[in-house]
Amino acid sequence: MSTKPITRALISVYYKDHLEPIIHALGKAGVEFVSTGGTQQFIEKLGYPVVPVEKLTGYPSIFGGRVKTLHPAVFGGILFRRNDAGDQKQASEFKIGPIDLVIVDLYPFEETVAGGGNEEEIIEKIDIGGISLIRGAAKNFDDVLIVASRRQYTELLAVLESQGAQSDLATRRRFAAQAFNITSHYDTAIFGYFNKEGELPVYKSSYESALPLRYGENPHQKGVFYGNLHELFEQLNGKELSYNNLVDVDAAVDLVQEFKDQPAFVIIKHTNACGVAVGATVAEAYQKALQADPVSAFGGVLATNRPIDLSAAEAMNSLFFEILVAPGFDAAALELLRAKKNRILLHQKQPLVRRKQVKSLLNGLIEQEVDWKTDEAADLKVVTRKAPTPQEVNALLFASKVCKHTKSNTIVLAVDGQLLASGVGQTSRVDALKQAIEKAKAFGFSLDGAVMASDAFFPFPDCVEIAHAHGIRAVIQPGGSIKDKDSISFCDDHNMAMVFTGYRHFKH
């Protein structure tokens, strides 16, 4: 039969909040309770008798609680098939009664790791009995209803209120799927702890949270974000985030985090920066960033590393933009920016921290470390007779940070604290430079005294030749071409400074 009665329930949980109404619903229906330790006491205090697991098994809880439920009297009651004559005969022979409902949760392993627990504390939070009970009950979903998390209590209570002390097959199968999701996530977390240095070359990842998106990259594509976005952001205004929104927010947050010592502002369009600047205030940084390309800024994604005050809000309020990300918003600024109901405002609660990047490719995945290297003054090797001035060094390092976060091939043109223009995603480095020069001049910038950054080495001297012709006086690049000397010689002959970093920053 599809519908099965619940005559006996095994309940043993770490978290007991919101459990009380379930106990009352089962108890009033005459369901027999089997339990352990603190859960047994909790049920008894509500006025219902409980059969201790120790009475069922004939063994006390042993080894500091490591072994409580691992016994045929428990697992047999869960796993024997009610419609199998052989199983029924053995259950009768060994006096094993059915367990029709299992409510258990798992020790808080992830919480203990996240809370900085020591090795002994973490190991003791690896659940053995609980996860075995969950798997056993889920496997026998034909006969047993499994509840594996307090997040399912509301759903379970609804089932009990609508169906009474019984469950149908569709419900049991749905709860079984949720149970296996919980156990697989739990095991993935444990594996991740033991394999945190990556000794075993395997890929495992699990996210319990999912956010359905309006659509994917295009309206005809479905999209979902897996992860807990609320840990990172609080949305203060605007419509639901889309796939493209999230891709651009990721790029914006990644880039603005490069700047720590000064207020910084970035404007992103299709994952590339069309404006980046630092300033004495957020408002100043925004105005400088906007100058680089006010056309592309329309409909862009904005991010800053400082709270938004009223002055900054007033400066940007006339611009149509999709999203603004900031670590805080003054009350007056928030009120002003909220006037446009679709404008998405994200309060970033914490820095974005990640070690790996993963991408689906062909019939599998590729994984790499994030590009953790930010070029610093100590990395710079002056390879020309002329050394860059201190101001040029600052401009070169600024340009390099922008370059690192721009699609290859890329050339970035900048002055100290301000992006002038960039050439992005070009098949030729010369084309990237020409695009950057054209954009800079289109928006009224003089390149006299500007600097140039390249994400990779120059195979020929053509880029430094073009740069010199437009007034650029200092260059930063990784170096490493067999023809580096050609570019160095040109710079020496034309009084240009060039530094090598030794670090390439391709981005695809």
Catalytic residue among 16, 24, 71, 139: 139
Distance CA 139, CA 402 (A): 53
Catalytic residue among 24, 71, 270, 441: 270
Strand-pair category, 474-477 with 497-500: parallel
What SS3 class is residue 21? helix
For every residue of 212-258, DSSP letters joined together read E-S-SSSTTS--EEES-HHHHEEEEESSPPPHHHHHHHHHHHHHHTT
- Amino acid at the residue 388: P
Torsion of CA 448, 453, 454, 457, to 10 degrees: 90
User: Is there a catalytic annotation at residue 139?
Assistant: yes
Distance CA 408, CA 414 (A): 17
The three-state DSSP-derived secondary structure of 261-295 is CCCEEEEEECCEEEEEEECCCHHHHHHHHHHCCCC
Dihedral angle sign, alpha carbons of residues 480, 485, 486, 491:
positive
User: Is there a catalytic annotation at residue 288?
Assistant: no
Alpha helix locations (H) across 274-356?
282-291, 310-316, 331-337
Catalytic residues: 139, 270
